[in-house]
Amino acid sequence: MARWQILLSEFDIVYVSQKAIKGSAVADFLASRALEDYEPLNFDFPNEELMYIAMTEDSPWRLNFDGASNAVGNRIGVVLVSPNGDHYPFTCKLDFDCTNNMAEYEACIMGLQATIERGIKTLEVYGDSALVIYQLRGEWETRDPKLINYRKVVLGLLEEFDDNTFNYLPRDENQMADALATLASMIKENKEEEVRPIQMSVYEAPASCCNIEEEEKDDNPWYQDILRYVRDHKYPKQATENDKRTLRRLVCDYVLDGDILYKRRKDQVLLRCVDAVEAKLILEEVHEGVCGTHANGFMMARQIMRFGYYWATMEGDCINYAKKCHKCQIYGDKIHVPPSLLHVMTSPWPFSMWGMDVIGPISSKASNGHRFIFVVINYFTKWVEAASYANVTKSAVN
């Protein structure tokens, strides 16, 4: 080995020890099956231009059925889905009295007959009636005389198929068949009237985008008098001398920039004055908007001021808005709980534990010669019993 290492040292060969037995096994396997002629690797993906795998003819079709019977009427609906995803809806209104289970069987029979007409041999049946599905699967016994004949008809139709399965489907996942059954109940009794096919369209934008009205504004904002005085130096009509003096004192904290009025804070930060309409939108956005945290009223007022908005009743409006928020009332903290944890009392039942005490001796005896007072109190109800004795002995206490 040393001789071979010296001869191969000129080729800069690095020797690495094998760390696992499986690595040695792989190396031995490759060495034993070495190729005599070099063949380059082929990285071409077979069938590269094939975009999808077409379903075979043996793929099962899907049948969804639903029926309902109530005061509105008896109706059934069926949706036949092909392996390619094509939907074939069927609906029918029943002009005879039947129960809800009978309507479910009628819907299943109508769907099976439509499937047989198309020559389908493999079918998966889905329905939201557990009774019908499990009776057709043979897991539940059919005892109702009205349903026995229906089950026989269905079993006779199933002989036309090579393979079929019945599966229970919740009503929420069977909405299309249920919608067809509801649509059948709206068909009028007059059969001569023509019912045209329903045309379904898809709108990508709301209709309101086509007719945008002018933004709503408050005609009489709370800062109307301040804005008039700052801009025109005019007082409101029927203003007294006291009102004028108050207005002149208030306008010292307001600045007009074009048509926008700002309120100057104590730190000289300007806050934009908004009217009632804008204040309502700000409350909704700050409290429960995209970045809203459902904060309380005081926190909302601070956030709005940090955003640069102001109105006179801002703090009170924030508190009232937070109180009326439905989600805050449901998920908010319980404020009517005790400040500390409640502890279980040692004597939760009345008269289960008593405390006894003796008062005396009393310096001046009573007229009957009693000098001691024996007092008993119940810890739960605070019930007190007292009696006087000349001498407190064991016999007297018992």
Indicate the pairing of strand 260-264 with strand 254-257: antiparallel
pLDDT tens string 239-264:
899 988 998 898 898 999 888 899 99
Q: Is residue 54 part of a domain?
A: no
Q: At 361, list the tokens.
A: 């001796």
User: 87 CB contacts (<8 Å, ≥6 apart)?
Assistant: 79, 80, 81, 176
- Rounded Cα distance, 238 and 171, in Å: 69
Do 318 and 335 lie in one domain? The reply is: yes
Pairing label, strands 61-69, 270-273: unpaired
Number of domains observed in the structure of the chain: 4
- Could you write out the DSSP letters of every residue in 3-18? HHHHHTGGGTPPP---
The tokens 């590269």 sit on which residue?
48
Domain edge (last residue) among 340, 365, 382? 340
For residues 143 and 229, membership in a common domain is answered with no
DSSP-assigned states of every residue in 227-286? HHHHHH--PPTT--HHHHHHHHHHGGGEEEETTEEEEE-TTS-EEEE--HHHHHHHHHHH
pLDDT string in tens for the chain (398-residue length)? 777 777 777 777 776 766 666 667 777 777 777 666 666 656 555 554 544 444 444 578 888 888 877 776 777 888 888 888 888 888 888 888 888 888 888 889 988 998 888 888 888 998 888 888 888 888 888 888 888 888 899 898 888 888 888 988 887 777 776 776 666 555 555 454 455 555 555 556 554 444 334 445 667 888 888 988 888 888 888 889 998 899 889 889 899 988 889 999 888 889 999 998 899 999 999 998 887 888 888 999 999 999 999 998 999 999 999 888 888 888 877 777 777 777 766 545 666 777 888 888 888 888 888 888 888 888 777 888 888 888 888 777 76
81 lies in the same domain as 119? yes
Q: Is residue 390 one of the residues assigned to a domain?
A: yes
Looking at the fold, whether 65 and 159 belong to one and the same domain comes out as yes
| Final residue before a domain boundary, out of 133, 162, 184 | 184
Q: Does residue 309 share a domain with residue 390?
A: no
Residues 83 and 120 in one domain: yes
Kindly state the tokens that stand for 23: 């690595």
Q: Which range of residues forms the domain containing residue 111?
A: 61-184
Burial (CB < 10 A; 0-12, 13-18, 19+), residue 343, is exposed
Q: Enter the pTM of the model.
A: 0.38
Name the E strands within the chain.
Answer: 61-69, 74-81, 87-94, 122-127, 163-168, 254-257, 260-264, 270-273, 309-310, 354-359, 372-378, 384-389
Q: Which CATH number covers residue 125?
A: 3.30.420.10
Nearest CA to 132 among 158, 103, 157? 103
What distance in Å separates the CA atoms of residue 24 and residue 28, rounded to the nearest whole number? 6
The helix/strand/coil state of 179 is helix
**Residue carrying the six token digits 């309409």:** 277
Radius of gyration of the CA atoms of the chain, in A = 45
Residue 79 is given by DSSP the state E
Q: Is residue 282 part of a domain?
A: yes
Secondary-structure breakdown of the chain: helix, strand, coil percentages, each rounded to the nearest 5: 35, 20, 45
75 with 68: CB under 8 angstroms? yes
Can you say whether the dihedral through the CA atoms of 314, 317, 321, 323 is positive or negative?
positive
Which pairs count as long-range contacts for 344-347, CB under 8 Å and 24+ apart, including other chains? 345/380, 346/379, 347/379, 347/380
Are residues 285 and 331 both part of a single domain? yes
